[in-house]
């Protein structure tokens, strides 16, 4: 099993490399650099050339990429010394965890931006996933156990219904109804501030009603779609499992119904559910783009969308990489969960 995890992790390295290369080349290939076009007030050509020289945008593509990946000191020692002499920040390279400077926010690095925005997004995302699991699995289980009853029909229908409402639609509606009309929740912003516990969890002192009030609507907007998906899947797979012979055997030997469901049926029915954890994480990531935008939460998703508009390429590349790592870790977790749930799968 350890060997398997190590091998899978190694397998992700080429994926991450491909993502970096693809993103880098694509962003650099966009006609007109990030500084040649600046809205209404275009900069004079000389200034543009100076800035481009500062960020080494005048280098050939392969050299830029090598410098991004490995750092200036390895790629071009002379340029590295020169940067230091001019009190500029040379690239230390992705391998040493440097995501480069932001083009738009002078003086800020991509690392700074990620450090301030990622915790907020992580809190939002984790709470949404938790909500999805807490609603989805019980709802699906109850629907399956009471198949073809009124509860089942209601659960099934609302699952399809919520799966059909994209967060683009749900978020404005939630704001309109619960924040603007009923005034139950605040319209915008997030309730915690750094420093965070373990780097991303809110401090206990911040976990008060205000925090929950701020979090309620965005978490709901992000989580319901997922909850609906999980409920549908749980119901379907549990229905299949409880028809299996070993469940009948368990019943025949007089086990309590609750024990049968919890001990025998539920774990096996979770196998297909585990497989959607990967897409789920992807959904959380893209969901945050919209939810953070609409609810005005200063998270990484909002920043990503803004940096696209700003053509802040280092931020785009850096954040893309962070997301890729998250998704890759998510996929690995799916595989491990899968192995834990289904011992028949052998990893050799």
Partner 1 sequence: MAVAEATPTDLDILARKERSPLQESIRRLLHHRVAVASMCFLALVVAVYVFADNSLFAFLTGKPPQPLIAPYRYDGANFVAVNVPPGSRAVSTKGEDLFFLLGTDYLGRDVLSRTLYGTRVSLSVAIAAATVSMLVGLVYGTISGYVGGRTDNIMMRIVDFLYGFPFLIMVILLQTYFKALARQGSSSSTPILTLLVGAAGLAVYFGGASGLTRELDSRHASLVQQLFWAQIGLGVLHLVLGYFAGESLPQVVYTSLLVLIGLAHLGLLALFVYHGIVQKHAARSSRTLFFVGEGLFVVALLLLGVRINVVGGILAVNKKMGGMLLLFIAIGLINWIGMSRLARGQVLSYKQKEFVEAAHSVGASDIRIIGRHLVPNIIGPLIVQETLAIPGYIFTEAFLSFIGLGVDSPTPSWGIMISECYPAIRTYPWQTVAPAAALTLTTLAFNFLGDGLRDALDPRLKE
Cβ distance to partner 1 smaller for residue 186 or 236: 236
311 binds partner 1, rule: CB under 8 A: yes
What is the token pair recorded at 84? 């230091």
Among 282, 333, 336, 339, which residue interacts with partner 1 (rule: CB under 8 A)? 282
Residues 222 and 166: their CA atoms lie apart, in Å, by: 9
Best CA proximity match to 92, nearest among 71, 116, 121, 69: 71
- Which range, of 202-210, 249-257, 258-266, 318-326, touches partner 1 by CB under 8 A? 318-326
12 binds partner 1, rule: CB under 8 A: yes
13 binds partner 1, rule: CB under 8 A: no
Taking CB under 8 A as the criterion, which residues in 283-302 touch partner 1?
285-286, 289-290, 293-294
231 binds partner 1, rule: CB under 8 A: no
Cβ distance to partner 1 smaller for residue 75 or 321: 321
18 binds partner 1, rule: CB under 8 A: yes
308 binds partner 1, rule: CB under 8 A: yes
Among 61, 169, 262, 345, which residue interacts with partner 1 (rule: CB under 8 A)? 169
DSSP string, 214-278: HHHHHHHHHHHHHHHHHHHHHHHHHHHHTTSHHHHHHHHTT--HHHIIIIIIIHHHHHHHHHTHH
The single residue listed with the structure tokens 């000389």 is: 46
Among 114, 135, 139, 175, which residue interacts with partner 1 (rule: CB under 8 A)? 175
Cβ distance to partner 1 smaller for residue 79 or 99: 99
343 binds partner 1, rule: CB under 8 A: no
Taking CB under 8 A as the criterion, which residues in 134-163 touch partner 1?
160-161, 163
Dihedral sign, CA of 168, 171, 172, 174?
positive
Cβ contact 100:314 at 8 Å: yes
Cβ distance to partner 1 smaller for residue 71 or 225: 225
- CA 107 to mean position of chain CA atoms: 26
Q: How far is the CB of 205 from partner 1 (least distance, A)?
A: 33
Q: How far is the CB of 291 from partner 1 (least distance, A)?
A: 11
Treating both helix axes as pointing N-terminal to C-terminal, what angle do 277-295 and 300-310 enclose, rounded to 10 degrees? Answer: 70
Q: How far is the CB of 179 from partner 1 (least distance, A)?
A: 9
199 binds partner 1, rule: CB under 8 A: no
Best CA proximity match to 226, nearest among 307, 103, 102, 133: 133
Residues 64 and 25: their CA atoms lie apart, in Å, by: 10
Cis peptide before 297 (omega within 30 of 0): no
26 binds partner 1, rule: CB under 8 A: yes
If phi over 0 gives left and psi between -120 and 50 gives alpha, with beta otherwise, what is residue 317?
alpha
Cβ contact 290:77 at 8 Å: no
Residues 220 and 172: their CA atoms lie apart, in Å, by: 12
Q: How far is the CB of 63 from partner 1 (least distance, A)?
A: 21
Cβ distance to partner 1 smaller for residue 220 or 323: 323
Q: How far is the CB of 187 from partner 1 (least distance, A)?
A: 9
**Using CB under 8 A as the criterion, which residues of the chain lie in contact with partner 1 when the complex forms?**
11-12, 14-15, 18-19, 22-23, 26-27, 29-32, 160-161, 163-166, 168-169, 171-173, 175-176, 180, 236, 282, 285-286, 289-290, 293-294, 305, 308-309, 311, 316, 320, 323-324, 327-328, 331
């Amino acid at each position: 099993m350890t060997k398997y995890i190590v091998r899978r992790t190694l397998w992700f390295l080429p994926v991450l490399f491909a993502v970096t290369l693809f993103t880098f080349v694509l962003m650099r290939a966009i006609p007109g650099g990030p500084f040649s076009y600046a809205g209404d007030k275009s900069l004079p050509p000389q200034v543009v050339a100076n800035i481009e020289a500062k960020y080494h945008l005048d280098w050939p593509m392969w050299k830029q990429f090598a410098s991004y990946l490995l750092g200036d000191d390895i790629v071009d020692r002379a340029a590295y010394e020169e940067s230091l002499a001019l009190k500029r920040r040379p690239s230390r390279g992705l391998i040493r965890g440097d995501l480069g400077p932001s083009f738009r926010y002078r003086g800020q690095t991509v690392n700074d931006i990620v450090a301030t925005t990622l915790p907020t997004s992580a809190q939002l995302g984790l709470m949404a996933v938790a909500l999805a699991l807490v609603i989805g699995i019980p709802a699906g289980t109850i629907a399956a156990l009471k198949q073809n009853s009124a509860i089942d029909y209601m659960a099934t229908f609302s699952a399809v219904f919520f799966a059909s409402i994209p967060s683009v639609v749900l978020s404005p509606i939630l704001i309109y109804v619960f924040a603007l009309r009923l005034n139950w929740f605040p319209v915008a912003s997030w309730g915690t501030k750094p420093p965070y516990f373990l780097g991303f969890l809110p401090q206990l002192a911040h976990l008060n009603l205000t925090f929950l009030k701020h979090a309620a609507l965005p978490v709901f907007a992000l989580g319901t779609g997922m909850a609906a998906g999980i409920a549908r899947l749980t119901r379907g797979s549990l229905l299949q499992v409880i028809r299996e012979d070993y469940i009948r055997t368990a019943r025949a030997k007089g086990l309590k119904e609750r024990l049968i469901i919890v001990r025998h049926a539920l774990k096996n029915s979770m196998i297909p559910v585990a497989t959607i954890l990967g897409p789920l994480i992807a959904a959380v990531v893209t969901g945050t783009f919209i939810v953070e935008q609409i609810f005005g939460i200063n998270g990484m998703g909002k920043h990503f969308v803004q940096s696209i508009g700003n053509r802040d390429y280092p931020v785009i590349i850096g954040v893309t990489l962070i997301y890729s790592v998250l998704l890759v870790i998510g996929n690995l977790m799916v595989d491990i969960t899968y192995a834990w749930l289904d011992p028949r799968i052998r990893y050799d």
